[in-house]
């Protein structure tokens, strides 16, 4: 197909500049056509330069009067021209005399186009866009698209290339359904339109032609994800984890609280997935403190009922031990055998755990990366739970899944992810949301204060300590440097320890696990009331008594990270307060972040605002991959519009895979062309393989 041919088949792409064109436009003709104009210029024809305005792009016929070559590298070559009433100059920096004398012979008439400028009471055009004969007026008249460029390639080159591509543009079968295609022009018409803009409205992302092409891009992405997932499910059937309700009923009876509607809905969705023969791939998303762990335990209990084992993979030793401590009493109450395995379990203890796994004497294994080592073998792993799934790489997640025969996978995240990012990055998974909080939780009051009021904050901390309050104090993030973070934390610890002796502890990434646990235990159960922490460690332990969070230099953190830190308080039934301290050097974006934090505790709303402020490249306060790179659908420019299109594409892709999984219908065959044009040929192969 012409569209899949290399761009070297297009006019103007020679071997000398081939690499420049490929780097700017891509390797294929279709890639070049996805390089859209960013501006438009109207060339107005004038009879003489006095009719033009400074800064205007004009077209004019004039007689070449005189050449003034330059003999100094910093001085331009100029050509004087006469329009019938006055003289003006054409200016060329580092112009080649031989070329200019050939293009602009003295006494010849030339059609010249470029931006009109004024210098020392004389009109000039610097580096004209066009120099041609007067009979080529149509070449420079009307609107001309302006494209993003790179060094060594001019707009004239891109326009010539695009015209070459558009002349040979084929008619393609329609791949959109009837309802969707009625909103926008056909693909062929849309491509022609975006490369022939007449007004600035044609350049807008809301123009029908651009929306059509953006939707095509998103549909191909979502369809490829869905087809790939279907292919994987077809190749690897999961286990049917259907219990008899005996253990889950005991677990419900042992719970010291009532499950929320959000938890109940998530439990039902997960249970139905596990009971099917397909391998579950589900992401459980919920704000900090919403009760995801109990939902996961209900799923693990169902696996145990069905005669299978379950594993929960946590990113840190602290979190793994917190999970084990929290789940152990509930498991004991309903007859589930639970163990923990981290790097600290060594020698005879580790040997006993590994034997228990192999003999199926353990139903649930809680652990860190230690559980994905080769020596760890399960008798019958049926469910893999991955906590804070963004903290693990693909290889680590696959390593856990390979411990069983295609076990069901339940990933959990406490970071509210915008729906846009979820569909784009996790379109091959099903989603469950927990949007409510456990009964009795009180909203957190957030205050924003300048660092100049630090003394007042410390005085207030002293009053809170007299009531037995537990306080987190997060030290500033400085240039993402662990060493500098630690220095700031140590200084703050020394200051507060002098004021509140015996009440202040410090945890950071360089402490040994045993030392860290000792400090945390004193904070949770003992004499420490203030915990100083850097941000390079996970402080996400569950401390119901913690009711105050102080964050220094809060303006340096992303919204999602601030929300995560704030979520460490407000886990009990007492009122909680978060103090965000900022420096005088507060940027407009920093001010906006703090204002959003002050206004809302809604993690999903905060995540959407974070996407708008940061763009798609950063999500968690540290750099993340963000959205896949799209050529036309630029989510950072207008997240709302593209989020709506992405949701439409996701819905359509799921319907296609249900109704025409092999893409064998006329529309399905057209969709195979779309996948090929979008560089997703593997997905098309999956459809043909069933």
Residue 71: the pLDDT is 82
On whether the CB atoms of residues 431 and 422 are closer than 8 A, the answer is yes
For residue range 304-348, list pLDDT tens digits in order.
999 999 999 988 888 888 899 999 999 999 999 999 999 888 999
pLDDT at residue 43 tops 80:
yes
Distance CA 445, CA 430 (A): 34
Distance CA 656, CA 668 (A): 8
- Mean pLDDT for all residues in the chain: 86
pLDDT at residue 690 tops 60:
no
Half-sphere exposure of 532 (CA within 13 A, CB side): 21
- Reported as a pLDDT band with limits 50, 70 and 90, residue 226 is confident
Residue 651's CB is within 10 A of a number of other CB atoms, namely 12
For residue range 87-143, list pLDDT tens digits in order.
999 999 988 899 999 999 999 999 999 999 998 889 999 999 999 999 988 778 778
Residue 339: the pLDDT is 96
The class of domain 39-146 in CATH terms is mainly beta
For residue range 532-582, list pLDDT tens digits in order.
987 655 555 678 888 999 999 898 888 878 888 888 888 877 889 999 999
Q: What is the DSSP letter of 359?
A: T
Which residues of the chain are in CATH 3.40.50.300 domains?
A: 246-434, 444-614
Q: What is the mean pLDDT of residues 371-377?
A: 90
pLDDT at residue 624 tops 70:
no
Tell me which H or E stretch contains 230: helix 208-235
More confident site: 572 or 498: 498
Own/partner pairs for 486-494, CB < 8 Å, 24+ apart?
Answer: 486/510, 486/534, 488/534, 488/552, 489/532, 489/533, 489/534, 492/532, 492/552, 493/532
Distance CA 299, CA 241 (A): 10
On whether the CB atoms of residues 396 and 403 are closer than 8 A, the answer is no
Residue 99's CB is within 10 A of a number of other CB atoms, namely 10
Beta strand 576-582 pairing with 444-450: parallel
Which residues of the chain are in CATH 2.40.50.140 domains?
A: 39-146
Q: What CATH homologous superfamily does 444-614 map to?
A: P-loop containing nucleotide triphosphate hydrolases (3.40.50.300)
Write out the DSSP string of 459-494. HHHHHHHTTT-EEEEEPPP-TT-HHHHHHHHHHHHH
More confident site: 142 or 369: 369
- Reported as a pLDDT band with limits 50, 70 and 90, residue 616 is very low
Q: What CATH homologous superfamily does 246-434 map to?
A: P-loop containing nucleotide triphosphate hydrolases (3.40.50.300)
Q: Can you say how many angstroms the Cα of residue 215 is from the centroid of all Cα atoms in its chain? A: 18
Residue 422: the pLDDT is 67
Own/partner pairs for 673-678, CB < 8 Å, 24+ apart?
Answer: 673/1, 673/172, 673/173, 673/175, 674/175, 674/216, 674/219, 674/220, 674/223, 675/220, 675/223, 675/224, 676/1, 676/4, 677/3, 677/4, 677/30, 677/220, 678/216, 678/217, 678/220, 678/221, 678/224
Q: What is the mean pLDDT of residues 635-651?
A: 83
SS3 (DSSP) at 314: coil
Q: Is the pTM here over 0.75, yes or no?
A: no
């Amino acid at each position: 197909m012409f569209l899949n041919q290399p761009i070297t088949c297009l006019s103007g792409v020679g071997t000398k500049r081939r690499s420049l064109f490929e780097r700017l436009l891509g390797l294929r003709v279709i890639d070049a056509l996805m390089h859209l104009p960013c501006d438009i210029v109207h060339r107005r024809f004038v009879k003489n330069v006095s009719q033009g305005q400074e800064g205007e792009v004009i077209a004019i016929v004039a007689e070449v009067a005189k050449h003034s070559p330059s003999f100094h590298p910093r001085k331009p070559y100029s050509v004087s021209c006469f329009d019938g009433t006055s003289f003006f100059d054409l200016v060329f920096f580092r112009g080649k005399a031989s070329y200019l004398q050939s293009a602009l012979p003295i006494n010849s008439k030339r059609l010249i186009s470029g931006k009109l400028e004024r210098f020392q009471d004389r009109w000039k055009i610097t580096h004209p866009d066009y120099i041609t004969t007067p009979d080529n007026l149509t070449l420079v008249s009307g609107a001309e698209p302006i494209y993003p460029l790179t060094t060594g390639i001019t707009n004239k080159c891109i326009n010539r290339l695009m015209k070459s591509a558009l002349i040979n543009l084929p008619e393609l079968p329609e791949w959109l359904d009837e309802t969707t295609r009625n909103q926008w022009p056909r693909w062929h018409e849309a491509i022609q339109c975006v490369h022939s803009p007449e007004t600035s409205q044609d350049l807008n992302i809301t123009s029908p032609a651009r929306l059509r092409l953006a939707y095509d891009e998103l549909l191909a992405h979502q369809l490829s994800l869905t087809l790939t997932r279907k292919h994987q499910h077809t190749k690897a059937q999961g286990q049917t984890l259907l219990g008899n309700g005996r253990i889950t009923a005991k677990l419900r009876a042992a719970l010291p609280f009532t499950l929320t509607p959000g938890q109940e809905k998530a439990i039902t969705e997960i249970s139905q997935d596990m009971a099917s023969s397909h391998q579950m791939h589900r992401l459980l998303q919920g704000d900090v403190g919403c009760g995801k762990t109990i939902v996961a335990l209900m799923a693990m209990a169902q696996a145990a009922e069905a005669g299978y084992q379950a594993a929960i993979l946590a990113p840190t030793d602290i979190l793994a031990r917190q999970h084990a401590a929290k789940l152990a009493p509930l498991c004991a109450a309903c007859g589930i055998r639970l163990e923990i395995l981290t790097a600290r379990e060594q020698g005879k203890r580790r040997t006993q755990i590994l034997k228990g796994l192999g003999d199926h004497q353990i139903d649930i294994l809680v652990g860190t990366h230690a559980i994905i080592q080769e020596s760890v073998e399960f008798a019958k792993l049926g469910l893999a739970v991955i906590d804070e799934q963004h903290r693990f790489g693909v290889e680590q997640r696959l390593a856990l899944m390979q411990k069983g025969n295609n076990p069901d996978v339940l990933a959990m995240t406490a970071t509210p992810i915008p729906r846009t990012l979820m569909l784009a990055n996790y379109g091959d998974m099903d989603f469950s949301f927990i949007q409510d909080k456990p009964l009795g939780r009180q909203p957190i009051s957030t205050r924003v204060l300048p660092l100049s009021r630090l003394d007042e904050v410390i005085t207030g901390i002293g009053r809170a300590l007299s009531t037995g309050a537990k306080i987190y104090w997060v030290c500033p993030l400085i240039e993402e440097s662990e060493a500098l973070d630690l220095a700031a934390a140590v200084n703050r610890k020394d200051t507060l320890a002098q004021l509140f002796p015996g009440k202040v502890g410090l945890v950071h990434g360089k402490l040994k696990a045993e030392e860290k646990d000792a400090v945390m235990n004193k904070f949770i159960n003992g004499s420490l009331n203030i915990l100083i922490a850097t941000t390079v460690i996970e402080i996400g332990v569950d401390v119901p008594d913690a009711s105050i969070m102080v964050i220094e230099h809060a303006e340096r953190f992303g919204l999602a990270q601030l929300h995560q830190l704030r979520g460490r308080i407000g886990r009990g039934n007492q009122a909680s307060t978060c103090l965000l301290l900022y420096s005088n050097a507060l940027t407009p974006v920093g001010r906006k972040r703090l204002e959003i934090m002050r206004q809302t505790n809604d993690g999903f709303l905060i995540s959407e605002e974070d996407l708008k402020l940061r763009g798609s490249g950063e999500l968690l306060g540290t750099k993340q991959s963000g959205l896949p790179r799209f050529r036309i659908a630029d989510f950072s420019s207008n997240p709302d519009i593209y989020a709506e299109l992405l949701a439409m594409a996701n819905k359509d892709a799921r319907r296609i895979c249900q109704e025409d999984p092999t893409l064998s219908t006329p529309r399905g065959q057209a969709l195979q062309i779309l996948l090929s044009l979008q560089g997703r040929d593997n997905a098309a192969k999956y459809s043909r393989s069933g």
